[in-house]
């Protein structure tokens, strides 16, 4: 399957980082999702019931990120991937999490992960 829905540069504010000030002050984080899903049924029927509701996915990702207090962007990315695969049944997802301005002289720094159903079969 090569179809995917991409949600690009979702801006959220969250507590993330290992430094004392990062544990107090919310920071901007950019999240990009590539949700692999078969879009044929929706493309043929033109019915929302046959589509992955990416608005619902976005709302849950925002809530997860804003409520979290992770130390690492890797952990935030992992939990977002788990949400997409387990809760929304996406067979494969790529998640980018970036912290703009985290490194001097760099526009942003981040991590990209890819997960599938197989990664969460044992409840991990």
The pLDDT of 9-25, averaged and rounded, is: 94
HSE-CB for 37 with a 13 A CA cutoff: 20
Measured in Å, how far apart are the chain's first and last C-alpha atoms? Answer: 24
pLDDT tens-digit series, residues 65-91: 999 999 999 999 999 999 999 999 999
Calculate the average pLDDT of the chain. 95
Torsion sign over Cα 112, 114, 120, 122: negative
The pLDDT of 108-124, averaged and rounded, is: 91
Residues belonging to the active site: 99
Query: Residue 102: which pLDDT band, with cuts at 50, 70 and 90?
Result: confident
What domains are defined for the chain? 4-120 (3.30.1130.10)
Query: Residue 1: which pLDDT band, with cuts at 50, 70 and 90?
Result: low
Alpha-carbon distance of 40 to 75, in angstroms, equals 33
């Amino acid at each position: 399957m090569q179809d995917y829905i991409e949600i690009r540069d979702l801006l959220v504010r969250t507590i993330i980082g290992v430094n004392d000030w990062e544990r107090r002050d919310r920071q901007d984080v950019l999240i990009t999702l590539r949700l692999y899903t078969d879009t044929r049924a929706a493309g043929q029927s033109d019915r929302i019931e046959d589509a992955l509701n990416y608005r619902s996915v976005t709302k849950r990702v925002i809530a997860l990120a804003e409520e979290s207090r992770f130390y690492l962007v890797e952990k935030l990315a992992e939990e977002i991937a788990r949400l997409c695969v387990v809760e929304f049944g996406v067979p494969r997802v790529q998640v980018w999490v970036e912290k703009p301005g985290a490194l001097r002289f760099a526009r942003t720094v981040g991590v990209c992960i890819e997960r599938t159903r197989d990664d969460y079969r044992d409840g991990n």
